[in-house]
Structure 1
Amino acid sequence: MADSERTIFAPDDQQDYGDNPTEVRETDKYVEEYVRGFVEKWDELIDWEQRAKSEGRFFIDVLKARGKQTILDVSTGTGFHSIQLLKAGFDVTSADGSAEMLGKAFENGRDHNVVIKTVHADWRWLNRDVHGKFDAIICLGNSFTHLFDENDRRRALAEFYAALKHDGILILDQRNYDKILDDGFSSKHKYYYCGDKVTAEPVHIDEGLARFEYTFPDGSKHNLNMFPLRKDYVRGLLRDVGFQQFHSYGDFQEEGEEKDPDFFIHVAEKSYAGD
């Protein structure tokens, strides 16, 4: 997502938040957070095999049920969903604001015998770097939470909307920050971050910051500062940008079936069914 002209890269294995980490609340900071040492460990956190089992064909089925073929993965990370969709026969373009993540994604694609088409792009200027219109855009892995400024969120969603065909859909996920803010943090550790030897827990929570710390088996620790998005707020933004229909899932289940889900998944459609 990062604008390459403004990117400042941190040392390979070192994150720097200055003297007041909980005061770092800016969109562009995420580029520095994904240092090489963190990116190289990211797949330990996800555990690709377990995650594939836990989410099954959810995204494949959602896309196929709506007849979508060309997919823009705007937060490809290390490539998990791009690779799953490529293997399922979709035409996928993979974008990310972290050059380190894109490098790892391409490497993972090669290891899985697929070629990932990567684009280094900032969501706020997405259509400057990514050309053409897509049947669907996916923004997964709680990535939208990297945007700290409301104008950035609105601008990014407008860019997503513009990159979709007239009947396109956006699939966007987020942590259940409502529960974290209102009741405190707990996690089933079942669907998203499946690595059983890695912990991901908040070390600071307020209405404007969710600061998570990730601890790996080798004892190393890395952090991410994220904006705690409430579910109804996100749906309101999607509506304001122009999306016509919404369907939200909790941990891959119909809304209401999963009590206190760890994650919400929003499927937003650009046009009404039958338009």
Structure 2
Amino acid sequence: MPSDAENSLLEYHPQQYGDDPTSIRDTDKYTDEYVRGFVEKWDELIDWDQRMESEGNFFIEELRKRGVRKVLDVATGTGFHSVRLIEAGFEVVSADGSPYMLAKAFENGRRRGHVLRTIQADWRWLNRDVTGRFDAVICLGNSFTHLFSDRDRRKALAEFYSALKHDGVLVIDQRNYDSILDHGFDSKHQYYYCGDQVSARPEHMDDGLARFCYQFPDGSTYHLNMFPLRKQYTIDLMRQVGFQRVDTYGDFQETYHEADPDFFVHVAEKCYHSLLPKDQRAPADAGHVDYDDEDVTDVGGEGVQR
């Protein structure tokens, strides 16, 4: 029999932000924002076919050239990247903090002939719920922006770092909040949120809150309260946690003008492997070690709480 919590999850109910929605600046709010009605419309916002065309094989190629085989998708959402990577031959574990997102991802995977390995997990305690070590951790779909405090962001990055093998790679993306904060919102609506009948625009912006409004063809409206991450701040955090090299792409391009991209993609490497001259690098498959949980203690200063 389903539990009361599971039954509640299946019910349709509106988002609740209270009398002052712009005062809600709390990491723990995000699971309540993804109500059933919003999640069921999420794929209209993404438009899988258009997104696949716009991003091409960027993520697949970045992972392949680093010899990645095993991937942890920590922001699975409705499963777009998990399914794409499975179909490209990667071994994928799919995690998300929203149980309804995971249910939708599993459904989408089955529809395409795949059985996703799904785990509900809070990034701040990721290694409590996800076992093993991975060649890559991916956190895509502007998801890192759901963390509202510096401590939560550092804690999550430390957990990502710990979940990686010693020469692993972390891939995180984010909106170009610098451009929105400094110059106003002007999206090409070409990458990520590709549904041509869906509006996704900021309703409120300040240095501590990006409140976006999502409007769908049937007239329904939903919101997300997110933290507007500055690009350099995100890069600095990854380096402070312990990632040795961070390369940033603008709308999947290596060169760009700072204000132009809609999204940035950060590719952060855990070890010095890529900093060596090519003739001194070990093969991509060499040196992988699977650590037991108790063996991994140095994760950038804060440690991992079990």
TM-score if structure 1 supplies the norm length?
Answer: 0.95
Q: Secondary structure at the match of 1:254?
A: coil
* In 2, Cα distance between equivalents of 1:261 and 1:149: 25
Q: Secondary structure at the match of 2:173?
A: strand
The RMSD of aligned alpha carbons is 1.5
Match of 1:179 in 2: 179
Unaligned stretches of 5+ residues in structure 1: none
Which runs of structure 2 are paired with 1:22-101 in the superposition (5 Å)?
A: 22-101=22-101
Larger Rg: 2
Residues 55 and 35 (structure 1), Cα distance of their counterparts in 2 relative to 1, 3 Å cut: same
How many residue pairs match? The answer is: 269
Deviations 1:108-147 (A, max 9, x none): 0000111100000000000000000000000000000000
What letter corresponds to residue 224 of structure 2 in structure 1? L
Match of 1:163 in 2: 163
What letter corresponds to residue 229 of structure 1 in structure 2? L
What letter corresponds to residue 267 of structure 2 in structure 1? V
**Is this contact kept in 2: 1:10–1:32, CA < 8 A?**
no
Q: Which segment is superposed worse, 249-258 or 70-79? A: 249-258
What letter corresponds to residue 261 of structure 2 in structure 1? P
Unaligned stretches of 5+ residues in structure 2: 275-280, 283-306
Match of 1:224 in 2: 224
Q: Secondary structure at the match of 2:17?
A: coil
Deviations 1:38-76 (A, max 9, x none): 000000000000000011111000000111000000000
* In 2, Cα distance between equivalents of 1:196 and 1:124: 34
* In 1, Cα distance between equivalents of 2:136 and 2:255: 21
* In 2, Cα distance between equivalents of 1:253 and 1:233: 20
**Is this contact kept in 2: 1:9–1:32, CA < 8 A?**
no
Q: Secondary structure at the match of 1:110?
A: helix
Q: Tell me how far 1:250 sits from its aligned partner.
A: 0.3
Which runs of structure 2 are paired with 1:213-252 in the superposition (5 Å)?
A: 213-252=213-252
Q: Tell me how far 1:9 sits from its aligned partner.
A: 6.2
Q: Tell me how far 1:156 sits from its aligned partner.
A: 0.3
**Is this contact kept in 2: 1:10–1:35, CA < 8 A?**
no
* In 2, Cα distance between equivalents of 1:29 and 1:11: 18
Residues 258 and 86 (structure 1), Cα distance of their counterparts in 2 relative to 1, 3 Å cut: farther
Match of 2:261 in 1: 261
* In 1, Cα distance between equivalents of 2:174 and 2:112: 27
Instruction: Percent identity, please.
Output: 67
Q: Secondary structure at the match of 1:224?
A: strand
Q: Secondary structure at the match of 2:268?
A: strand
**Is this contact kept in 2: 1:13–1:38, CA < 8 A?**
no
TM-score if structure 2 supplies the norm length?
Answer: 0.86
Q: Tell me how far 1:257 sits from its aligned partner.
A: 6.4
* In 2, Cα distance between equivalents of 1:98 and 1:12: 15
What letter corresponds to residue 38 of structure 1 in structure 2? F
Q: Tell me how far 1:10 sits from its aligned partner.
A: 10
* In 2, Cα distance between equivalents of 1:67 and 1:269: 13
Q: Tell me how far 1:13 sits from its aligned partner.
A: 3.4
What letter corresponds to residue 168 of structure 1 in structure 2? G
Q: Tell me how far 1:28 sits from its aligned partner.
A: 0.6
Deviations 1:152-180 (A, max 9, x none): 00000000000000000000000000000
